[in-house]
Amino acid sequence: MTTSPSPEVASLMVALGDALGSATRPTSLDTELSKAVAGVRTLFSAAACSCARVQPDGATLKFVAADGAGADSILGVEMALGRGIAGWVAMSGQPMLTSEVAQDSRFARDIAESTNYIPETILAAPLVDEDGEVVGVLEVLDPQSRGGHSGHDLDTLGVIAAQVASIIRLCEVYDALGDTLLRGLAKSGSTDDFAGALAEVSDAAEGRQELVALAKAFHELSSTGPAGAALAARVLTDVAAFARTRR
């Protein structure tokens, strides 16, 4: 029966998992969201387009990508879930179109004024993950529609929002993959525990088997004794530092 890794090695394995998740994912979330909002703005010939994400507290929206009028000012702005058009869409999970923003009681005028752009029309659609949870909102300001705004605009934005939600999900999976993988292996205290953990994370790590092999190698090295644990700690420290530079 093998011994479990030392607390130092276990901690470093978790840190390595955090770094590897971002370093190995196939796309940068910030880059992809920036491309998405720019593309949506062009598609709708709109004045601006932005993407806000529901924060971990589940009670706040944060604008993380924007293109067009007021883009620089809206980035990083946070607002309570349920506040403003975007907040209402996030809370209700329903898309909406309002062509008389000034008359809509849900409109957060102070937020708009802070960006120096007051829209007349807003299209907004929720970003819904595979579990049906709203993870954000895609919002289009003053889109141009040849035949007048209709349900077709909302349908189109809804299709795009589904794709954006998929991008967010993909990046989250990769960010969590390394942590989930190495945390489970670091906590396994026996050969049987390790085998079970390895089988479990192997199923979850489809397409990332190199992470499984890496975790197994460090587990075996750190379980050989004090010298092996020290060597594993040194290597993990260097690898984790390198991986962070690639985020």
pLDDT band, very low/low/confident/very high, at 23 (cuts 50, 70, 90): very low
Mark which of 171, 193, 213 sits at the end of a domain.
171
Tell me the per-residue pLDDT of 238-247, one tens digit each, with 9 for 90 and over. 655 555 555 5
Of the listed ranges 96-100, 118-122, 127-131, 224-228, the least confidently predicted one is 224-228
Q: What is the mean pLDDT of residues 187-200?
A: 53
Decide: pTM greater than 0.95: no
Number of domains in the chain: 2
Residues 66 and 148 both lie in one domain: yes
Residues 234 and 141 both lie in one domain: no
Q: What is the mean pLDDT of residues 166-175?
A: 72
pLDDT exceeds 90 at position 2: no
Residues 20 and 60 both lie in one domain: no
Domain of 197, in residue numbers: 7-26+173-242
Dihedral of CA atoms 173, 175, 181, 183 in degrees, nearest 10, equals -130
Please work out, in degrees rounded to the nearest 5, the angle formed at the alpha carbon of residue 181 by the alpha carbons of 208 and 163: 55
Residues 99 and 189 both lie in one domain: no
Q: How far is CA 34 from CA 30, 45, 95, 182, in A?
A: 6, 16, 21, 31
CATH of the domain at 116: 3.30.450.40
pLDDT band, very low/low/confident/very high, at 7 (cuts 50, 70, 90): low
Q: What is the pLDDT of residue 193?
A: 56
Query: Can you give the C-alpha Rg of the chain in angstroms?
Result: 23
pLDDT exceeds 90 at position 125: yes
pLDDT band, very low/low/confident/very high, at 52 (cuts 50, 70, 90): very high
Q: Considering the domain boundaries, does residue 35 fall inside one?
A: no
Q: What is the mean pLDDT of residues 163-173?
A: 79
